[in-house]
Amino acid sequence: MVISAKTTEAYLWIGGEWQPAADGAMFDVIDPAAGRVTARVANAGEADVDKAVAIAQEAFDDQRWLSMPPLERGRILRRIAELIRQHHHELAQLMTRENGMPVNQALFIEIPLAADCFDFFASLVVKPHGEVLPFSVAGAASDYMTWTVKEPIGVAGLITPWNFPLLMPTWKIAPALAAGCTMVLKPAPETPLTALKLAELCHEAGVPEGVVNVLPGLDEAGKALVRHPGVPKIAFTGETATGRHILQAAAPGIKRVTLELGGKSPNIIFADADLEQAAKSALFGVFYNSGQVCQAGSRILVERAVYEPFVERLAERAKKLKVGPGVDARNDLGPVISREQYEKVLRYIDIGKREGARLAAGGSALDERGGYFIEPTVFADVTPSMRIACEEIFGPVAAVIPFEGEEEAVRIANGTMYGLAAAVWTNDIKRALRLSRRVKSGTVWINTYQVLSPTAPFGGCKQSGLGRELGMQALDAYLETKTVICDLNERPMTLF
């Protein structure tokens, strides 16, 4: 079997082979642009998790990946990047079919970022090294040699969401491979085919059997993976509520856990900013991927002196965005991912209306071919205490909030449980730097929004997560530090 844009049935990827679920169970993958079944995929259960973890552990123990020369492992990661670029059209079609993302956005944003990520971590394969340390203990002889080494943590359990079906697995697989780990990936049930295609490309590039395993499935597979005693490391991207459950489930095993969770990110626009550029960027910040982005700038804070002109500008631009099936490259927004998400977003739009926010644009569902389409929606006159300003909607809904001066902007920006990302728009560099220190978030953009690089760490503070993806910090998340102390004295120190 080869995963392609036409695949209608797929299985688990374990030990370099396609395998059915142990109990033969399957689940449906729905095309969100049409609301109908597009594929049937094997549904992994606890027995499949046990099998995949055992195979990953065997691959780790015999060092079939780690024993390769580091430069060779780096070449394989670069080969994965090359294959992603070669298969870009097929990957874009798969993502659009599963996720609804407009094909042009998959081609020009997600796929290049995924390839770049493998290239970056290929350059870090030679970086996991320790250091030689001075040794000093009162009353002890001084002739000791002390050093540290960095070692891969073992089998990593990776759990990824549906909003970026290629990029999110890449953010975990690439650093795990660079560190020398083996892994079991559990992708979101909405988007399993893209993850399976990535596993196929890893295999083609030369990653040995058993190193990368992919288990599509529903909740049972994810829960079993987190609980499994053979998995010392869990990396999860998804909702904050799910992240809490994962921490609780991982606690008995004292697992190493990294979490990239939800956000309600503030995009702060001062009166001296370039309003035209700020409006364009705010539009991208909140409506890209139909607002289904963890760091979406869904709270747009605008200084009162320019509030009304900005709202008018943003609303007019939102009304001109084209919504429709992602296969049409002319569309700016595709559908939201599922019937459940569609109903959730529409409930929040109703909540915004009932709370007294002013609807400046959108606010309605679009009945198109049975898919889950919603108009880009802009609410004005939003107060910080409204639910649409506090709770993550994960859809194409912007809440525009007025403020007076820096102090109020900071107070509103920091006034939620989240701390994933933020932006500041101003021509006053001192103000921009002041706010970059005061706003509590893992990333702060200045006069831009949603620009990411694999070289720069990404993650949140407060209830937006633990640890970081990307950058050197992502590599460290899959490594343990071991200290080695060697006694070089003629007579070893002894108390007895």
Residue 457 has pLDDT above 70, yes or no: yes
pLDDT reported for residue 228: 98
In this prediction, residue 495 carries a pLDDT of: 67
Rounded distance, CA 183 to CA 452, Å?
25
Helices marked H in 137-191: 167-179
Q: Report the top-level CATH class of 9-261+460-482.
A: alpha beta
Place of tokens 């370099």: 16
Q: Which helix (H) or strand (E) holds 146?
A: strand 144-152
* Beta-strand runs (E) in 182-334: 182-186, 212-214, 233-237, 256-260, 266-269, 299-303
Grouping H, G, I as helix, E, B as strand and the rest as coil, residue 89 is: helix
pTM: predicted TM-score of the whole model, two decimal places:
0.96
Distance CA 250, CA 323 (A): 41
Statement: residue 368 has pLDDT above 70? no
**What is the rounded CA–CA span in Å between residue 359 and residue 496?**
81
Which tens digit of pLDDT belongs to each residue from 130-162? Answer: 899 988 877 666 788 999 999 999 999 999 999
As given in the structure block, the two tokens for residue 252 are 């008995």
Nearest to 300 by CA among 331, 275, 320: 275
Listed in sequence order, the residues at least 6 apart from 276 whose beta carbon sits closer than 8 Å to its beta carbon are 313
pLDDT at 327: 95
Query: Count of residues for the chain?
Result: 496
One of 190, 200, 260, 375 is an active-site residue; which one?
Answer: 260
Q: pLDDT tens-digit profile of 158-207?
A: 999 999 999 999 999 999 999 999 999 999 999 999 999 999 999 999 99
Segments making up each domain of the chain, as ranges: 9-261+460-482, 266-446
Over residues 220-234, the pLDDT tens digits come to 999 999 999 999 999
Q: What percent of the chain has pLDDT over 90?
A: 93
User: What's residue 492's pLDDT?
Assistant: 72
What single-letter DSSP state applies at residue 110? I
Q: Give residue-wise pLDDT tens across range 343-366.
A: 999 999 999 999 999 999 999 999
pLDDT band, residue 128 (cuts 50/70/90)? confident
Distances in whole angstroms, Cα of residue 305 to Cα of each of 21, 169, 301, 379, 389? 60, 43, 12, 18, 21
Catalytic status, residue 260:
yes
Would you state the pLDDT for residue 66? 96
Question: Superfamily assignment of 266-446 in CATH?
Answer: Aldehyde Dehydrogenase; Chain A, domain 2 (3.40.309.10)
The strand pairing partners of 185, in sequence order, are 158, 214
